[in-house]
Amino acid sequence: MTEMLDLFPAARMMTEVIAGIRDDQLTARTPCRDATLGDLLDHIGGLSVAFTAAAMKELGEITARPPIPSAANLGDDWRSRIPAQVAALAHAWHDPAAWTGTTQAGGLDLPGRIAGLVALDELVIHGWDLAAAAGLPYRCDEASIAACTAFASTVTAEQRAEGGLFGPAVTVPDDATALQRLIGMTGRDPSWTPPREAA
């Protein structure tokens, strides 16, 4: 039987972070290179829709290619729409059938269990990205951290160098938390803060 992961805790935390983002922060830089906070929000909305379709095996244009995120796509309803899309993602992956067979996301054909793990990783890591960019607190349940850490550990240095899902790992202090270690494994500095605007 395919092991299921619970995406609800990470989805709820993502929703809490989104609720704390101010309109004047949408142009703020994020830990994701060349992406503003608004761009990242649009990315989260797009990936939520795509991975919901992947869970339901509703393959087509939305799963055939990764969307190009842009804050210009947010619209006036992003505060309600994106949390709803994130919640739908968690619900879709609560179905055992989502974790079986083969599906597609971002144009890649993947086993259902891997696609679900990638979806969880996107929620956890981008949840942290949003919180760091907006100066908000972020917490994550142990099970999600453990699953994402196991996933990140399978990404090779060669894959990182090719500019794939993660960048080169960042060394963290010996006393780093499990979440900080995970963030470092994804190529992010856990101590990252938004750059100060020039006076």
Residue 165: predicted pLDDT: 73
For the CA atoms of 29, 32, 35, 41, the dihedral, rounded to the nearest 10 degrees, stands at -90
| For residue 26, pLDDT beyond 80 | yes
Listed residue (77, 82, 199, 187) closest to 128, CA to CA? 187
The chain-wide mean pLDDT, for the chain, equals 92
pLDDT in tens, 98-149: 999 999 998 899 999 999 999 999 999 999 999 999 999 999 999 999 999 9
Q: Answer for the pair 122, 10: CB distance below 8 angstroms, yes or no.
A: no
Domain definitions of the chain by residue range:
8-138
Q: What CATH number should be reported for the domain whose range is 8-138? A: 1.20.120.450
Q: What is the pTM of this model?
A: 0.93
For 141, how many CA atoms within 13 A lie in the half-sphere containing its CB? 16
Weakest-pLDDT range from 62-71, 98-107, 132-141, 180-189: 62-71
